[in-house]
Chains A and B, each alone.
Chain A
Amino acid sequence: MSNRVAIVGAGISRFDNPRFELHEELCAEAVQEMLADNPNIEYPKDIDAVMYSYFSDHLAGQLCFHWIIHDYLGLLPKPAYRVESGGATPVDALINAFMYIKSGIFKNVLIVGWEKMSELNTPKVNEMIAAASDTDWDFPVGGYYTGYYAVLETRHMHLYGETEEDLAKIAVKNHNNATFNPYAQWRSQHGTTFITIDDVFKSRIISWPYRALNCAMISDGGACMLLASEETANKFTDSPVWITGIGLGTDTMRPGDRVDNPMYKGLYPEDEALYPDVSTKPASPYPEMANFGSMRTSGDMAYKMAGIDNPVKQLDFAELFNPYDGVELVEYEDLRFCKLGEGKKIVREGITEWGGELPCQLSGAHTAAGHPVGATSIAQATQIYWQLTEQTANKWKTNARALSGAQRAMLQGHGGTGCQSGVIIFERG
């Protein structure tokens, strides 16, 4: 692949709730870390353009927040662009920056993402995020994102038979990973003690089958990443991490519209054949309301570009978008870690645990590292970058979750109830 694109620097501002610093100060903290780690970046001279990532104008009561961030970071009059696609915002910002560089117009593109969600109380945060669902249909009945994902997971449980215990196991894995992560909100608020399945069952019910410990945290935080063209990457680092595949996909805004979607009819015949007989087979049996077609489409596109046909064997680890634990289980299927309906086997066999064949969410991710929406996938990409360049032990001050010799990793992110998904494959140079 000519004109490749590399990660050459990255930083995270600690996820917590609350962070009292201003939004721009959180962004500065992340950029500061990147510049301290990489003295070869001549700042701001080396930045050709900036891609800004934040989700909600409502949470901050401020539109065009990126204009505030942009001048605060001393980046005028450079080109800048804001991306917004719900939870997919940060992965989209990374993919857009990749395409800016691939276009040949810009050599080095900085991505800055953040969210402050602590300014409103929790029911109000739910309300503002629910404004990213169809406010004529799903919201007025008392819907909100935990509820939407709960009904989707209920459907998957009905068809494929995973249990509340399977979901709890995912929660335990991710929270325990986060106890080592010094950027994680769970560790800040709850310390470094491991949790158990019983702790998950004792946590507050939110929307069945989801309990508090199955759900994304409400967080403040920021993250940044510098992508560079093949031509300029060597100036910044001897150990670039290359982007070798990207993928995008979409599904309906209203989750209830997925039950028999004619646009997916016949796209995935091998999955259509696996539809179980517990329910009447619809005209479009996949993804139905149980699975995420957008993730399948985005994953397949990225795998093809990166030459991956067996992700469990060919990827060393992954950071997935896991706002609720059933989503991670279903992603195992949609991203082809296993066949449709076998996500529960991946959980029960420990394949995505630390020490498993394909560890997922070593950072702890949304439910444990935290989920300041516009920053989350950029921070996950940063953790991937640190793993692939073997900086994790130094950044975390422990090697408890530091991989050695990892070559290739995947980032998956999505927005809405899987309305839009993006995947990026990273490989060390």
Chain B
Amino acid sequence: MTYRPKKIVDALEYNRKWDEWARQGNWSPVGWRWVEGSKGHRLDQISSTNYLVIQRPHASVYHHSYGMISKFFKGLLEKKFYGTKCPKCGLTFCPPRAHCWNPGCRIQETEWVELPLRGEVFTFSPMAFSATPFLKTLPFIIAYIRVEGCCTTVPTRLIKINPWEVYPGLKVNIHFTDRTKGDIMDLYCTPAETPDPSKCMMTPEGIERLKNDMRKVRDWVVKKFGSEAKPSIDI
């Protein structure tokens, strides 16, 4: 048993197919290839030889506790937005910290506060590639949002805006997804104001280049994932 608690107060129990999934990849070869590859030290010393390559999967299900900042993530499930505030120095954190990092506060424990669903883009990037779990939603914009009153920024997805229209300082509204699941993806942002074209970070040629790039990425995702593709930027 993992993480045996005193009592389960409330739960959305996971489908046990995931335990079966984790047992599937059991470090045993599922295939092999006898390949020709190069051998040798520097590029002026190369010859050819054969190698055996096996395919060996493994997988895990982590039972992860959010510890003392569990209230933030439980809050997401309930569509409430919390941060923490240090009673000594007044710094407000989102992402929350259970203890203050301010050098004068000697690891003071913080207190929970409810935060406004407003902030501004501190920085951002239109993503055209990613790690395995997120490929289907390419292309998308990640923006680091400074929530009103906070001294740190939160990574979120920014939607309903073209990537070349985004700039640091753009005011945004923070929303909850319809079906919250208990991680930071339960939040997303939309612009709270009409973007100011004079603050655009790209040249006209740069914008054209990016438009073409984004189209290519969208087409690639649609081709690769078919009906499962959910591009967040559509141009």
Chain A residues within 8 Å of B, Cβ to Cβ: 13-14, 16, 18, 20-21, 29, 32-33, 61, 123-124, 126-127, 130, 136-144, 146-147, 150-152, 154-155, 157-158, 163-164, 182-184, 187-188, 201, 204-209, 254-257, 259-260, 262-263, 279, 283, 289, 395, 397
Contacts and interface: CB of A to CB of B under 8 A. Distances in A.
> Which of A13, A16, A150, A188 lies at the interface centre, i.e. has the most chain B CB atoms within 10 A of its CB?
A150
A254 B101 CA distance: 14
Contacts of A283: 151
Contacts, number: 164
Interface in B126-141: 126-135, 137, 140
Interface residues of B, number: 63
Contacts of A138: 155
Contacts of B214: 205
A155 B184 contact: no
A61 B131 CA distance: 18
Contacts of B152: 254, 256-257, 259-260
Contacts of A184: 43
Interface of B: 27, 35, 37-44, 51, 53, 56, 58, 66, 89, 91, 95, 101-103, 122-135, 137, 140, 142-144, 146, 151-157, 163, 167-169, 183-185, 201, 203, 206, 209-210, 213-214, 217
27 contacts: A14-B42, A18-B37, A20-B35, A21-B39, A29-B41, A123-B130, A123-B132, A126-B130, A136-B183, A137-B154, A137-B155, A142-B137, A143-B142, A144-B130, A147-B142, A151-B123, A158-B167, A182-B44, A183-B42, A205-B217, A207-B126, A208-B210, A254-B95, A256-B153, A262-B102, A283-B151, A289-B153
A273 to B, nearest CB: 21
A267 to B, nearest CB: 11
A234 to B, nearest CB: 29
Contacts of A206: 128-129
Contacts of B217: 205
Contacts of A182: 42-44
A142 B140 contact: yes
